[in-house]
């Protein structure tokens, strides 16, 4: 049993180190950092360090490691977001040697969680750079680790906010199911891209515009690559006009809530 415990602790240490390498790689290649991942990395490190310091059984890692992932997700909300400064410091240790231009530390980071935050891009087309799911969809049913955390996050590119790192969190079931359908079920091919519209202004029943945000708000579409530029820049590919331009930016397939017009 002692040997198994030691092996478990070594596996925990390797996993914590691997996660540190992951956030470094993410910062270097995606030119940005992710607070949730930094919190997860910090808690993993703390977990494996506490085992020998407090003379705890390594078997505690069987609940500590999953808990670190869950707390990372919950760090979006108070009081768990108080971990962000410490997590950022820990993350900075892994970012040593990465040039500032690679981490884009001067780049503004925008987080969209509440409707009041998402409303900044209401009705604006946004290209989805990355879709990170924290749940699963099977037969129309969603499985998640916790009801207190979002279903997923998306990294977005929006013409309205150029050069800014935008992370949106998906909290409505139908919005998550539609994104899941695009990325996991239908999948996105090499010559395609996913574009979303977030809006509270296009419900068929106009009264819904003034009610609290219980309704889905994402229109998800898969388009040909370059559709985003065609939607946001009238000077992009001026040779494409009329019906040809319309067809080039028309969705190949789309998922739109029935209550939206």
- pLDDT tens profile 185-196: 999 999 999 999
Which 3 state secondary structure label does DSSP give 135? strand
Residue 82 CA neighbour count, 13 Å, CB half: 3
Mean pLDDT, residues 212-234 taken together: 90
Contact 118, 198 (CB under 8 A): yes
The pLDDT of residue 140 is above 70? yes
Instruction: Compute the distance between CA of residue 250 and CA of residue 230 in angstroms, rounded to an integer.
Output: 10
> What pLDDT does residue 156 have?
93
Helices (H) and strands (E) in the chain — how many of each? 9, 9
* Residue 101 in this model has a pLDDT that exceeds 60: no
pTM of the model: 0.67
Looking at residue 220, its pLDDT comes to 96
pLDDT band at 145 (very low <50, low <70, confident <90, very high): low
Task: State the pairing for strand pair 165-170/109-112.
Answer: parallel
Q: What is the mean pLDDT of the chain?
A: 85
Q: CA 52 to CA 137: how far, in whole Å?
A: 39
pLDDT at 56 over 80: yes
- pLDDT, average across residues 35-53: 89
């Amino acid at each position: 049993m002692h040997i198994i415990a030691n092996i478990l602790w070594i596996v925990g240490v390797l996993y914590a180190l691997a996660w540190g390498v992951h956030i470094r790689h993410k910062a270097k290649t995606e030119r940005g950092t992710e607070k949730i991942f930094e919190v997860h990395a910090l808690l993993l490190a703390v977990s494996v360090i506490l085992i020998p310091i407090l003379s705890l059984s390594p078997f505690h890692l069987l609940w500590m490691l999953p808990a670190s992932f869950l707390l990372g997700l919950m760090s979006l909300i108070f009081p768990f977001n108080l971990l962000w400064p410490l997590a950022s410091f820990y993350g900075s240790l892994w970012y040593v040697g990465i040039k500032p231009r690679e981490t884009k530390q001067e780049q503004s980071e925008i987080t969209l969680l509440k409707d009041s935050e998402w409303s900044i891009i209401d009705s604006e087309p946004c290209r989805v750079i990355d879709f990170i799911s924290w749940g699963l969809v099977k037969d129309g049913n969603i499985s998640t680790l916790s009801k207190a955390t979002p279903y997923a996050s998306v990294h977005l590119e929006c013409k309205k906010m150029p050069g800014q790192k935008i992370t949106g969190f998906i909290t409505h079931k139908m919005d998550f199911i539609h994104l899941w359908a695009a990325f996991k079920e239908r999948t996105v091919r090499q010559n395609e891209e996913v574009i979303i519209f977030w809006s509270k202004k296009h419900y068929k029943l106009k009264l819904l515009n003034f009610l609290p945000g219980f309704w889905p708000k994402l229109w998800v579409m898969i388009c040909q690559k370059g559709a985003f530029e065609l939607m946001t820049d009238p000077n992009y590919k001026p040779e494409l006009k009329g019906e040809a331009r319309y067809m080039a930016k028309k969705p190949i397939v789309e998922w739109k809530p029935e209550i939206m017009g």
